[in-house]
Structure 1
Amino acid sequence: MITPAPVQTLELPDQWCDYNGCTTEATHTDGEWVMCPHHEERAYRTTTYWRPILRWTTRPGPPLAGLHRRVLIHIPRRWGVTATPHRRALPTRTGNAHMLTITHTPTEGTIIDCTSKGDGTAPILKTAGWKWGRSITAWYIPHSRDRAPHLARIEHTAAALRAAGYDVETDIDTTLRDGTDAHHDRNERLTDRAAALAAKAERKATAADAAHARHDHACAALPEGGEPIKVGHHSERRHRRALDRAHTTARAAIEAAAAARSAAESARIAARSTDHRYTPAVIHRRIERQSAELRSIERHLTKYRAAGHTAETSNHMHQLELNKAELERDIEYWTAVRAEQDATDGPKLYSRADLRPGCFVNCSGTWHKVIRANAKSVTVATAYSWTDRLPYDKITDARAEDAHTPIRPGQ
């Protein structure tokens, strides 16, 4: 085995052989792979089971007490970059146990650090509702960024891990960022996700075209006119292989086309997600829903205070106060967005001042005649003996009494 000369070095603590399931310390390198002596020769016969260094994340090896060494890993010059260790901290070893840390910050959400593959924490975390994030190489609670920490889930997870023999500590930051900063970062993440899904859709479409081309090539190898198989003839085996290849490539082309359609639909939805979040009707319904949740929390807090409870003595009351602060921040932000939309030439909602009895409104593609304009809805006629009510945020278009002249909101 020829080993290229080292040109750059990357120092990683506790680096282990990357062969599947191997927990031996890595001591050999050929410039692209690091491995233990046992798997050194196998690296070239099964290269598909190995990963380049630049795609690695620093992960702990087997739970061996007192083992903490440093291994120099050589990076080929042609890569043109210098890899850096992953930002996650290494686990602190106490005997044979891991010291796990559950942290919550506004920017990163709720994350548990210092877990490793095969350490037994995965079943516990999955049961508690955690998910594995490949991009951050850590377990996390979904939808926890710029949200109040879910104290009950965190405490339940910590108790389950301690019962399994792990040392667990928590570091919870209950402060909230400004609503503008929080939603700006979320919009950037949505934009990045839409771009990634668009690139994925393009790759899937290219793969589908290639799969159809392979199917066409396989069909071109079949005899013309649907000639049957000549049993016992020297061409029988070739003919059967050609038919099998045509069926296989046809199935692959169908599956690739379905994957391409699914990816294209996901990209389309992601591309309009941010615009949809900022439509006046959606913002109005969001404010109404959050205001109702806020009133419910305030009623519960009033009952707790009347019973003599405080946030220090009641975990549920503490959680309610955190949720209240989050709702107040979001309501303030979205109310400001709606006010800005009303003050500018942006999209607006219909109101009582825009509609009058006798005009027509459109809701979900159906036109209705207005009988009465109320404070929050309009009463419309139906084909039956009763009337119906439509909230203003559900109205997408309106026409005057002649059913032709358009009525614009705010005019």
Structure 2
Amino acid sequence: MKKLIILITSALLLFTAFSCKKDIIEPDTDIENPVDTTGQDGGHTPPDSLDSQEPQPQPPSDKRITIRPVIKVGQIVYDSIPVQLIVRSWDTKNEMDYKIYYLPGPDDIYIPAKGARFHFTINKWGGQAERTFTQAELQDNASYTIGLQIEPKKIKSIVEVKIVEGKNTPLSKTDYEYAANGDITKRTIWGKRADFSNYIMQTDLFAYTNGDITSIKSYDEGNKPVKTLTARYDNQHRVVALEEVKGLEKISAKAGYFLLDTYSGNQQAYRIDVQYHLENGKYTDYYSRKMAAGRTIYDIYASHNGGNEEGYYDYDNSLNPYAHLRLPELNFSQHDMHNRTFPRKHYGHGRPEYEPYDYKYTYNPDGYPKELLTKYRHTGSKMDAYTMRTVFTY
């Protein structure tokens, strides 16, 4: 009887234990990717913050650099002109790639990160400049200059022909002579008589001091003195004083140069203010010329009689052959490094009978004009009057 009671009691205990086990809720665990969300303090950490992987290195990015093309022709520096840039690059396997850029002047380009070394080439006006860099030598957001030196081409002769209603009339021919060092020594201006025979209109002889033209003496066909122009310069080789004596008459000019910050551009903008004393100092006129990047952008001449003339101008990006002669002139036109293409003129209290209004150039491969057609019109009616054809030989 005692054994029977023990068996019944054991059976009841097993039944109770089995019934309790069925009420326990098991956690839903990913057996293949278990994640321990228990923090050090026993709490739970959101799974998103449990990325325990090491940061992966980022691939190198392309570099942005500034290319500054600087071309020096003779003594004149051109650094605000469009150029063609060729960039060749080689990767670590020595495979080459290249790109062609047309820069308006100093401009930014991107250097590919995969390139190991780079070769830059600039072609302009018959010259070529090159620079080579490794990837390590090129710094992001840095500026690099590619310089080119070219010898200027000097004018040998200039022929001018006047065209009226299709009829060509030769007017003049100007011949230039130079010393061995390239300095101009003599200029001969030939004219045409009514019978179309040639004669010497004027001969100019040039004298120098410290590399600057300080005297121009002019003679007529009979070798008689016509006029003398003398020039004085500052320590930057800029004309600060001019005096022209013609017979008993004298014109003198004094010039000042003032830096401007109101115009953008790689080259410093500046203004030239000139005061003229006419008829041996009897009258005073004023002239102001604003320059930017080697171009006259605005000028105004105020006469003692109350008249004035204002001008706004456009230019090309080619070489002005007159600028390389470095001739001191009363109108200070030697400062224009490029060729004028379009003027906009305003007159007050008097105007010339004719005015130029259109310039068309034909250029040689070296960037110099070989022919220029200048159209003139009546200033008042704006009707076409004639065309001047100018032919350059170098």
TM-score category by the smaller chain?
under 0.3
Normalised by the size of structure 1, how large is the TM-score? 0.16
Q: Which has the higher strand share?
A: 2
Normalised by the size of structure 2, how large is the TM-score? 0.16
Q: Which has the higher helix share?
A: 1
